[in-house]
């Protein structure tokens, strides 16, 4: 594997799974001269005039779609850890004797550890997409046949749109669908909210199969996925476990340290002038982020102001803001609990967004750069404000990128991290895996203080008389190193074996993830 150095001095493979790569050139430095991919022109005459695209089962649909060895099969992750369809899909592919599939999910979850058998037996060649938990561990140990490719939600859209990844067959789990293939996630027993992560798949895959456990007569309204892009519809008894699809486990943090971080963030946002009439921010569904929402809510109420929009992942806490008139809109990429699903169903101001609208870097702009502040997590940060969101300091790949890289384009990107976890410092000299370049990260907030990127002189100036604990990142690092017993150990990895790479939002390669030596 020939390695080359990119603009961040990270080594990346020249070729990945046989495909030549473009090394990261710097933020906003790479301009593609290519064209958007162009699918074959279809004709209505090839499809049933009565709009009934139902075929008898998934196997039949895969056969009709021409499934064969080496194809790329995509799925979405809106069913989260309750997804059973993807496992059934690969049982079916395996039963058909088909091998070497490139699985292209928008993300995978612990429930997909079931698929390790198919990674072992060659049914699946490799995964391109988030590998949360067990599949990441499997990959880290060098057991996957191909090299994993990690992309942000926006990067996934970009890669499909640009033809970098040609999906042969998209299998779209649809909590509600009609026989024509119109589909949504807001109705049915497997309701999950929006289906935005499947949009690009539906638009650009060669064949599109919609699988539903709630078939309704045409028209299925709203049609988050358009039947005009769908080839076959399959009825299934169940797509998964509703209690895990909408987990209801989005719980506020009770940790005093994390509550303190949340409070610092809300106060900081207020002090630097972000919290003003008509502002916007991106809230995640993590415990610290939920606490930020509540602190901001208090400030907004006290000041008598209203946000113009809040970007979800949405939960009941966001829905309450909308209901209480504290924001005009929720612009929502995924819906984490039942309150949020209901809100998206009932409230026209709770708007579904897609990776196209929100995150696609290869569009005529996107929403991410228009957000006043984004509050994000990280597994590690470094003294140059670079951050890692996919691997741990022991080298294990255990998380996906999600919309994280895309959100870095917000006007003020705030990373919320505890200063150490399990006595392992979070602020390093250099992150294990570089996922986000420091030049896009404005503020790092820990329970020990708030570090502002020296590039943001405007922010530093604004808070110079603040009572908040504004400190240099090195000062916080030093204190943490002393608590944790010095400079942490480097991960024990085999630099000769790249198990996965991290792409940037423009399709270039930002960093490599190496085999962990166990």
- The residue among 404, 56, 70 whose CA lies nearest residue 209 is 56
Chosen residue from 104, 336, 409, 514 binding a copy of itself by CB under 8 A: 409
Stretch near a copy of itself under the rule CB under 8 A, chosen from 35-43, 115-123, 188-196, 437-445: 35-43
Nearer to a copy of itself, 283 or 426 (CB): 283
Question: Per-residue contact track with a copy of itself, 431 to 470, x per CB under 8 A?
Answer: ----------------------------------------
Long-range contacts formed by 295-300: CB under 8 A, 24+ apart: 295/262, 295/263, 295/265, 295/266, 295/267, 296/266, 296/269, 297/321, 297/326, 298/266, 299/266, 299/270, 299/275, 300/275, 300/326
* Distance, CA of 488 to CA of 171 (rounded, Å): 44
Nearer to a copy of itself, 7 or 370 (CB): 370
Chosen residue from 25, 117, 308, 342 binding a copy of itself by CB under 8 A: 308
**Under a CB-based contact definition with an 8 Å cutoff, are residues 381 and 415 in contact?**
yes
Nearer to a copy of itself, 266 or 373 (CB): 373
* Distance, CA of 331 to CA of 353 (rounded, Å): 6
Nearer to a copy of itself, 31 or 56 (CB): 31
70 near a copy of itself, rule: CB under 8 A: no
Shortest separation between residue 32's beta carbon and a copy of itself, angstroms? 4
Chosen residue from 188, 194, 222, 395 binding a copy of itself by CB under 8 A: 222
278 near a copy of itself, rule: CB under 8 A: yes
Chosen residue from 18, 217, 256, 486 binding a copy of itself by CB under 8 A: 217
Stretch near a copy of itself under the rule CB under 8 A, chosen from 219-227, 258-266, 267-275, 439-447: 219-227
Nearer to a copy of itself, 46 or 422 (CB): 46
Q: Which residues 6+ apart lie within 8 Å of 5 measured at CB? A: 11, 12, 23
Give the position of tokens 């590998």: 131
- Axis crossing angle, helix 338-346 with helix 316-323, rounded to the nearest 10: 40
- The residue among 419, 438, 471 whose CA lies nearest residue 260 is 419
Nearer to a copy of itself, 53 or 77 (CB): 53
Shortest separation between residue 234's beta carbon and a copy of itself, angstroms? 15
According to DSSP, residue 252 is labeled P
Phi/psi for 125 (5° steps) reads -80, -50
Sign of CA dihedral 327, 330, 335, 338: positive
Q: Residue 108 forms beta bridges with which residues?
A: 131
Chosen residue from 10, 362, 392, 448 binding a copy of itself by CB under 8 A: 362
205 near a copy of itself, rule: CB under 8 A: no
Chosen residue from 2, 20, 38, 302 binding a copy of itself by CB under 8 A: 38
279 near a copy of itself, rule: CB under 8 A: no
Q: Residue 310 forms beta bridges with which residues?
A: 281, 330
281 near a copy of itself, rule: CB under 8 A: no
Query: How far is CA 419 from each of CA 32, 395, 441, 447, rounded to the nearest angstrom?
Result: 39, 19, 17, 7
325 near a copy of itself, rule: CB under 8 A: no
212 near a copy of itself, rule: CB under 8 A: no
Element (H, E) at 137: helix 134-140
Phi/psi for 37 (5° steps) reads -65, 150
Exposure on the CB side of residue 280, measured as CA atoms within 13 A? 19
Stretch near a copy of itself under the rule CB under 8 A, chosen from 47-55, 187-195, 262-270, 314-322: 47-55
Nearer to a copy of itself, 40 or 467 (CB): 40
Task: Report the site for a copy of itself in 332-351 (rule: CB under 8 A).
Answer: 348-349, 351
Instruction: Name the residues that contact a copy of itself, by CB under 8 A.
Output: 28, 31-51, 53, 161-162, 180-181, 208, 217-219, 221-223, 226-231, 278, 308-309, 329, 331, 348-349, 351, 356-357, 360-367, 369-370, 409, 411, 506
């Amino acid at each position: 594997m020939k390695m080359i150095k990119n603009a961040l001095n990270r080594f990346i493979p020249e070729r990945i799974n046989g495909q030549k790569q473009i090394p990261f050139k710097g933020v906003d430095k790479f301009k593609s001269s290519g064209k958007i991919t162009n699918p074959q022109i279809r004709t209505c005459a090839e499809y049933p005039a009565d709009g009934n695209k139902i075929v008898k089962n998934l196997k039949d649909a895969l056969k009709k779609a021409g499934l064969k060895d080496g194809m790329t099969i995509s799925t979405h992750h809106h069913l989260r850890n309750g997804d059973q369809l993807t496992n059934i899909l690969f049982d079916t592919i395996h039963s058909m004797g088909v091998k070497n599939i490139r699985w292209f999910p928008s993300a995978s979850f612990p429930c997909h550890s079931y698929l390790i058998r198919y990674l072992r037996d060659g049914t699946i060649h490799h995964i391109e997409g988030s590998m949360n938990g067990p599949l990441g561990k499997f990959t880290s140990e060098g057991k996957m046949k191909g090299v994993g490719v990690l992309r942000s939600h926006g990067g996934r859209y970009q890669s499909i749109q640009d033809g970098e990844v040609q999906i042969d067959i998209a299998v779209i789990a649809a909590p509600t669908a009609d026989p024509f293939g119109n589909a949504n996630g807001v109705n049915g027993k497997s309701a999950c909210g929006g289906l935005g992560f499947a949009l690009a798949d539906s638009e650009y895959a060669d064949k599109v199969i919609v699988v539903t456990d709630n078939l309704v007569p045409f028209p299925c309204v709203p049609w988050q996925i358009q039947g005009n892009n769908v080839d076959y519809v399959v009825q299934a008894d169940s797509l998964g476990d509703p209690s895990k699809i909408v987990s209801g486990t989005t719980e506020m943090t009770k940790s005093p340290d994390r509550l303190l971080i949340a409070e610092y963030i809300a106060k900081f946002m207020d002090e630097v002038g972000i919290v003003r009439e008509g502002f916007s921010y991106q809230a995640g569904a993590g415990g610290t982020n939920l606490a930020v929402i509540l602190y901001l809510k208090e400030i907004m109420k006290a000041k008598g102001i209203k946000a113009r929009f809040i970007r979800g992942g949405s939960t009941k806490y966001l829905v309450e803001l909308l209901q209480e008139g504290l924001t005009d809109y929720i612009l929502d990429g995924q819906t984490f609990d039942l309150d949020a699903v209901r809100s998206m169903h009932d409230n026209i101001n709770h708007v579904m967004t897609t990776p196209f609208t929100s995150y696609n870097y290869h569009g005529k702009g996107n929403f991410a750069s228009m957000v006043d502040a984004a509050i994000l997590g990280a597994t590690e940060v470094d003294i140059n404000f670079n951050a890692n969101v996919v691997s741990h300091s022991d080298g294990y790949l255990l998380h996906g990128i999600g919309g994280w890289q895309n959100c870095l384009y917000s006007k003020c990107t705030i990373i919320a991290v505890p200063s150490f976890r399990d006595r392992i410092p979070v602020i390093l000299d250099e992150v294990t895996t570089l996922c986000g370049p420091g030049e896009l990260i404005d503020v790092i907030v820990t329970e020990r203080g708030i570090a502002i990127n020296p590039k943001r002189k405007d922010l530093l100036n604004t808070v110079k008389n603040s009572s908040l604990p504004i400190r240099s990142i090195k000062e916080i690092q030093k204190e943490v190193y002393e608590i944790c017993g010095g400079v942490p150990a480097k991960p024990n990895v085999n630099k000769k074996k790249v198990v996965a790479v991290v792409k940037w939002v423009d399709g270039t390669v930002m960093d490599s993830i190496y085999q962990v030596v166990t």
